[in-house]
Amino acid sequence: MTTGVIPGGQSPEPRPTDPQLPEQRREPGGHGPLHVDNRTRSAVITARAAASFEPVGRSVATARSFVRDTLQGWGFGDIVDDAVVLTSELVTNAVVHAGTAADVLCLRSDAGVRIEVADRYPEREIPLQGAAINMGSPDREGGRGLQLCAALAGRWGVEYTPTHKNVWFLLDLPERPVGTRAAGPALPAAMLPLADGRVRVAVVQIDRGGSITSWNEDSETLFGYAAEQVTGKPLTDLAAWPHTPGTGTGIAEALQLSRWEGSYGIRGAHGRVIPVYASHLRVRDTAGEPSTVCLLVQDHERAVLQTPSRVPASTDAGTASDGQSADPFEVFIGSPAPDDLDGLLQRTVERARDMLDADAAFLLLATDDETELEVRASTGLPSARQRFARVPVEAGPGRYGSARMPAVHDDLAAVPGAVPLLHGTGMRSVVTVPLKVEGRLTGSLGVAAEAPGRYSNEEALRLQFAADRIALAVESARLGELERLRRGSLSFLVEASDLLAGTLDRDQTLALMAQMTVPTLATWCAVYTIADQASEPYLSYVLHEDEDLIDGIKSLLSKVPPPDPVPTPGARVWTTPAEAAHQAALRTSMRSLGLGDSHHRVGTSVGPTLATASAIGGETVVLPLVARNRVIGMLTLGKPTDEHFRQEILELAEDLSRRAALALDNARLYSERTAISQSLQRSLLPPGLPEVAGVEVDVIYRAAGEGNEVGGDFYDLFPIRDGAYGFAIGDVCGTGPEAAAVTGLARHALRLLAREGFGGPAVLQRLNSAILDEGARSRFLTLLYGELWPQEDGSAVLKVVCAGHPLPLRLRQDGTVEPAAEPQPLLGVMEDLELYEQTVTLDPGDVLLCVTDGVTERREGTRMLGDDGLADVLTTCTGLTAGAVAARIMRAVERFASDAPSDDMAILAMRVPEIMTD
């Protein structure tokens, strides 16, 4: 891949185009004929990045990374997902389907980003101007690139030349208006709020226990305390008023709310009470620890922090005070609206709470099938515990059990469970109203108070009036968020599929499954696998975003029964881990207090702890891993205590689980077949070399090809009868399974025939007939076969037949090397062979070296080791043992060329030891 980045304001040279072929484009989402686009590119190109990718499969992933890195480097994170998806499709078309290199060009301008993907496929016809193009079916495997361009890009087109086809698309930058949530008219200076010469904003941070952890310089100036004087003390020690006037909420309770705004007093170092106006925001750090950030100003400067007041409820929501029509949504929410869904929903519940003078408010959004409601925003409630929790739309019989109708509850204590969301919150009275768009339920808005009997039908009508006016805006923002999520999900799945397809190793596939889900989709993940239908699910992999908790989670899950392998698609809630975590935490706490049974052990040092229980105590869901109509495992996703999954994340996880299941099953099948192949291959090798009295024997064997243990080369050494041994080294034409099959035939036939008493020529003649009987499956074979007789005088006598094989070499003690046999015809070619054997005597200190042609034909460019090069290496082996000789030969062969060997190699070395004398 070659890349280049050219910053600056110079416009790049345009691509050469035929003047008869104007730039073409299709309007997004259209399926009509191409239109002539007379608009030119942006006059100002502020940056340019280009890269070329070879026509190989891995180039698609590399191109995605190039585009992602380029756009993120330019600060265009909003359009990265769309750009990655489109680039992936277009580069796939070029390098996979067209089989050519792909050139990717990214252009940045003030208007947006233009990305061009060009391939080099000149045989394609240049379409006539204005001719209709058939986009094809979206269900087809290919041809989706242009459909995606039409769906996602603001503009796109295709440019043809005699040598290139260039597809381009333009992604517009999202509008980024000034993010004001409220604005007021310009006023004369005399009408502006009064403030001191310098407005001081005290920033105070409060930890989970209500103690001060941060105290800035303005806090010191306003209240007179140095930071070291107040750090670690509860804020309630400084608060002069225990309750906010007009409410029943104290300062301690206000600090626990997600948002709070109001007045109270702080007792300064001089002893006087300083009235302040405060804005609280509940946050959590990267470790999940909650705290509250408090912004405080003097009460008469409250305009610095105070949220602008809404239009009074008595005002007609459809008419402004001057008689002109006003937007009802702006009347309720304020102008302009938040630019994100979460901000809009939070603003909505805050205004609903204020409108009915409530203690709490909540807003739920309906799922796509309108069967459940998902908590998306709340105020006055423990939002961290409730966020994304789901409740049924139809909770019971009658209108009060359905979220489709307004409902007023005077006292929840009289009807426990009527509003499950408020269970345990202390709220007594509540009013809920539906949010509907064109008659379809889209959500539910509710407000609640701590006192009973606070609300009547009149308040329900007021709340319904407001809900009707915000429903459309909420639904529009929700659809916008869903669109962004789905585009991001598509990019995520493209990357995930590429990673899963890149390995056939089972353990690596399991690790990838977990790493793709944590922390993107879940806080922790566990993968169960099922070997076969009769086996129980086995916990194969556990991952948590905090590595210190992995062992504890694994220990906890190993002590509970695994989830049932139900093939039903979709995520289902699994409560067992949370219950087990709760029980483990309870036992641990009781034991630490000395209240537990001393004989009852919670676990080992890495067993469940309080931290583990907190990490695993939230919502847990199980997704089946189904491949080829069989459940092969389960993907378990979990959240920490009191957290829930949102519906869109579960849908994405379900899609991922389908891809992961196929990848895992492919890895399983590959592992099984590899194990079978290796087992069969090992059966073709000798079980071991026998000990030959008076002769050293060593063998080195290397099979070519990844995963092969046996190829076309083979060796053998076996006893024939007392005092006699047979040895062989051969080479079957070709490599791989076909050659290995002939290898097995040759090795077993040699042993059988030799033990039947046949001599060397007879053994090879009968083996030749057996190979020819294989017909089309036969392979010709070169073979060196011999019989070895160790002698009492320390020498060894050998009778050898060399049938088309590289000649054996004899190394004498004086360093001379000579062939030890003469060449004869190879096997598997002619039916009638006239073979003869030759006798060789090895004196003490002599070495007989037998190799296959993978050794002598080792190449580096035009050079080849050859018989002479092998002989030169062997001359340096005088005095070495048989094992050292074989090792030196192999080392010389490997060093002769830098590339990995492409042929099988076998080396058989036999040496007669020197006679030791006193």
Q: What is the pLDDT of residues 496-542, one digit of tens each?
A: 888 888 888 888 888 888 888 888 888 889 999 988 877 888 899 99
The string of DSSP codes covering 823-848 is -BPPBSS-SS-----EEEEEPTT-EE
Q: Is 859 exposed, middle or buried (0-12, 13-18, 19+ CB in 10 A)?
A: middle
Here the tokens at position 211 are 């103690």
pLDDT at position 873, please? Answer: 93
pLDDT, one tens digit per residue, over 814-831 is 899 999 999 999 998 888
- Confidence (pLDDT) at 917: 60
Q: Please report the pLDDT score of residue 384 as a whole number.
A: 47
Tell me the mean pLDDT in the region 697-705.
83
Question: Does the pLDDT at position 591 exceed 70?
Answer: no
What does the pLDDT read at residue 512?
87
* HEC per residue, 285-316: CCCCCEEEEEEEEEHHHHHHCCCCCCCCCCCC
Q: What is the arrangement of strands in the sheet containing 724-732, beginning at the earlier edge strand?
A: 713-721, 724-732, 781-790, 796-803, 838-842
Model confidence over 417-426: pLDDT tens digits?
Answer: 778 778 778 8
pLDDT tens across 85-137, in order?
A: 888 888 888 887 778 889 999 998 877 899 999 987 655 444 444 444 454 44
Q: Which residues pair with 267 in a beta bridge?
A: 273
pLDDT at 164: 79
What would the DSSP string read from start to end of 114-147?
EEEEEE--TTSPPPPTT-------TTSSS--HHH
Gap between the Cα atoms of 124 and 617, Å rounded: 59
Residue in the structure block whose two tokens are 């929501």: 317
User: Looking at per-residue confidence, does 323 or 400 come out higher?
Assistant: 400
CA dist., res. 884 & res. 834, Å (int): 37
Residue-wise pLDDT tens digits, 27-77: 333 334 333 344 444 447 888 889 898 888 788 888 888 898 888 778 787
Q: How far apart are CA 433 and CA 445, in angstroms?
A: 5
Q: Mind listing the pLDDT tens digit for each residue in 148-175?
A: 777 778 788 888 877 778 888 998 876 6
- Residue-level pLDDT at 400: 61
* 324 has pLDDT over 50: no
At 286 the pLDDT is 77
Q: What is the distance between the alpha carbons of residues 709 and 685, in angstroms, rounded to a whole number?
A: 9
Q: What is the mean pLDDT of residues 240-266?
A: 68
- pLDDT for 204: 94
pLDDT at 580 over 70: yes
d(C-alpha 869, C-alpha 857), whole Å: 10
Residue range 611-637: mean pLDDT, rounded: 84
Least confident piece of the model among 241-245, 447-451, 682-686? 241-245
Q: What percent of the chain has pLDDT over 70?
A: 79
pLDDT of residue 185: 58
Model pLDDT, residue 398: 53
- The mean pLDDT value for 230-241 works out to 86
Q: What average pLDDT does the segment 742-748 reach?
A: 82
Confidence of residue 221 (pLDDT cuts 50, 70, 90): very high
R_g of the chain, CA atoms, integer Å: 40
| Contact of 781 with 746, CB cutoff 8 Å | yes
Cα–chain center distance at 497 = 9
Compute the average pLDDT of residues 555-567: 86
DSSP for residue 94: I
Q: What is the pLDDT of residue 11?
A: 39
* Window from 292-301, 465-474, 483-492 with minimum mean pLDDT: 483-492
Q: pLDDT tens digit string along 183-207?
A: 555 667 776 777 777 889 999 999 9
Which are the contacts of 791, defined by CB distance < 8 A and separation ≥ 6?
Answer: 694, 797
Average pLDDT, integer, range 228-239:
90
Dump pLDDT digits (tens) for 425-440. 888 899 999 999 888 8
Q: Quick one: average pLDDT of 442-448?
A: 91
Residue 316 banded pLDDT, cuts 50, 70, 90: very low
DSSP annotation of 876 reads G
Judge whether residue 757 has pLDDT over 90.
no
- Edge to edge, the sheet with strand 165-172 lists 2-7, 45-53, 102-109, 112-119, 165-172, 155-160
**Beta-carbon contacts of residue 360 (< 8 Å; ≥ 6 apart):** 353, 378, 379, 380, 381, 422, 425, 427, 447, 448, 449
Residue 590's pLDDT is: 66
CB atoms within 10 A of CB 354: 17
Average pLDDT over residues 458-480: 86
Average per-residue pLDDT in the chain? 79
pLDDT in tens, 355-411: 888 888 899 898 877 888 888 888 887 654 567 777 888 866 555 667 888 888 888
Between CA 743 and CA 259 the distance in angstroms is: 78
Is pLDDT above 80 for 551? yes
Flag the least confident range among 456-465, 578-587, 852-861.
578-587
Q: How far is CA 708 from CA 505, 524, 571, 679, 746, in A?
A: 16, 38, 41, 11, 19
Please report the pLDDT score of residue 139 as a whole number.
Answer: 45
Residue 707 is predicted with a pLDDT of 53
Q: Which one, of 759, 682, 667, lies nearest residue 720 by Cα?
A: 759
**Pseudo-torsion of CA 146, 149, 150, 152, nearest 10°?**
150
Please report the sign of the dihedral spanned by the C-alpha atoms of residue 439, residue 444, residue 449, residue 452: positive
What is d(CA 169, CA 67) in angstroms, rounded to the nearest whole number? 13
Q: What are phi and psi of 558, to 5 degrees?
A: -70, -15
